[in-house]
Structure 1
Amino acid sequence: MDLILAIDLKDGQVVHGKGGHRQTYRPLDWAFSDTAEPGGFLKAYRPKYIYIADLDRIEGTGDNTDLIFACAHSVELCYADRGLTSPEEALNTAGIVDIIGTETAAATLADFTSGFVSLDIKDGHVIPSGEDPTTFLKKLNTTAIDGCIILNITSVGTGAGVDADEAARMRAAYDGTLIYGGGVARRDDLFALADAGYDGAIVATAVHSGEIPLEWVREGKIC
């Protein structure tokens, strides 16, 4: 199972937040990096895989695409959520996986034929439709997308841990490549996701706090 380091970009800086309350996110200049500048941050962490959320572009207040390109050159693979609203906005670039978030592209999901769909979940429901995640995942089985990310926005940065039963239920609903993110708090969460058959896990806070070894992120897998 791949381990992917999450990086949130806001105003050109790497920020750290909790529970999806983006107005409270602050520069991440602690833990293993003394700078929130993306290049310096990546030099300190040296991850193999990254997931970048361009919070400015998702919220329609800015665009960090140039920084995403620069970050992608430092890693083996970069998953990028840039708040896409249509296939024409995708980067379609080697080394970058375009993320199609339900938060911004719910009305045009059927138009995408590549990339990973992100099930953006708040309080147990896919936003903005309010659907049950497993119902949504079953419908994705008939599409041409490359894979899916379950993003539990409510649990981001909270250390809440993973509900292993719910995670297994969602894994069983989708036949393709599936990655889990949001609330992964400890090694046991990673083992539970691996046992359930997930292809990857997105981690951040648990790495910054030392609950998950930095070396695992550098290797891109559980060591």
Structure 2
Amino acid sequence: MTVIPVIDLLQGQVVRALRGDRQHYRPIVSALCASSDPLTVARILCDHVAARQLYVADLDALQGGVGHVAVVRQLLEALPGLELWLDAGFADVSEAHALGAALGPLSQRLVPVFGSESLRSRAALEACFTPSGRGILSLDRRHGERLDAAGCWDSPALWPSRVIVMTLERVGAGTGPDVDTLREVATRSPHVQLIGAGGIGSEADLALAQASGASAWLVASALHDRKLPRMST
């Protein structure tokens, strides 16, 4: 099981995500690192799990504000061996392309995450994952309700090769992985690489997630709370 560390950015700082209640997120307080500076936190988390990918949720952009382009640039420049997965509330592929153009050559290591909560329409979904595209789809839900104006959940023929299953009420809660939803998605598209998000609170949770079909999991709180051991390559 691959652990992909997560940093949630809000107003220039890393915050602790909890159950998707973004209005109440606060700067991270961590047993692993004594800072909420994005680069500092990213370095420590990636080192702790020997990560080759880093997931960044730009919460300001997700909520319609100004995104953290300068921070994303800093992360890409300072962590040259890393692939950066970015969810910045992209409503369509043109927004991801605009960010890539602003980043120049650094964008070669940027992978846009298109969240079902953000995509504006079915047409936007259809345009995201062309054969040359590198994007990832995130299927987002909260308390059993799909966040999905574009109809992503019911369009497996349009899914890319990597799909995130995001259960927002479990984010930061340590209540265990949502294996039922994971298995549901796997049934819809058996050949897709599934990445889970939310609920991990122990090594046992990771083992359960892997047994349920996940190849990787997005993790933040369990790392900050030292509930997962240091990992090596």
Tell me the TM-score normalized by structure 1: 0.86
- Bigger shift: 168-177 or 18-27? 168-177
Distance 2:115 2:168 in 1: 12
Residue 66 (structure 1) aligned with residue 70 (structure 2): yes
Structure 2: distance between partners of 1:152 and 1:166:
8
Partner of 2:170: 155
Give the CA deviation at 1:97. 1.2
The structure 2 residue matched to 1:87, chosen from 93, 106, 129, is: 93
Match of 2:217 among 201, 211, 221: 201
Q: Partner of 1:53 in structure 2?
A: 57
8 Å Cα contact 2:5/2:45 also seen in 1:
no
For the pair 1:127 / 2:175, whether they are aligned, the reply is no
Residue 26 (structure 2) pairs with residue 26 (structure 1): yes
Report if aligned partners of 1:57, 1:64 keep a CA contact under 8 Å in 2.
yes
Aligned with 1:116 (options 122, 132, 136): 136
Q: CA RMSD in A?
A: 2.2
- 1:98 equivalent to 2:102? Answer no
Question: When the two structures are superposed, what TM-score results if normalisation uses the length of structure 2?
Answer: 0.82
Distance 2:184 2:209 in 1: 11
**Distance across 2 between alignment mates of 1:2 and 1:181:** 12
Match for residue 82 of structure 2? 76
Give the aligned partner of residue 2 of structure 1. 2
Contact 1:8 1:55 in 2 (8 A): yes
Number of equivalenced pairs = 212
- For structure 1, the residue ranges without an aligned partner over 5 or more in a row are none
The aligned amino acid for 1:123 is H
Aligned residue for 2:164, secondary structure, equals: strand
Residues 1:169 and 2:173 are matched in the alignment: no
Q: How much does 1:197 deviate?
A: 2.6
- Corresponding residue for 1:181? 197
Deviation of the 1:22 alpha carbon: 0.7
- CA deviation after TM superposition for structure 1 residue 110, in Å: 1.5
The 3 A distance-change label for structure 1 pair 130 and 122 is farther
Deviation string 1:148-203 (CA, Å, 9 cap, x unpaired) is 11111111111111243443333232221210001122111211121223221111
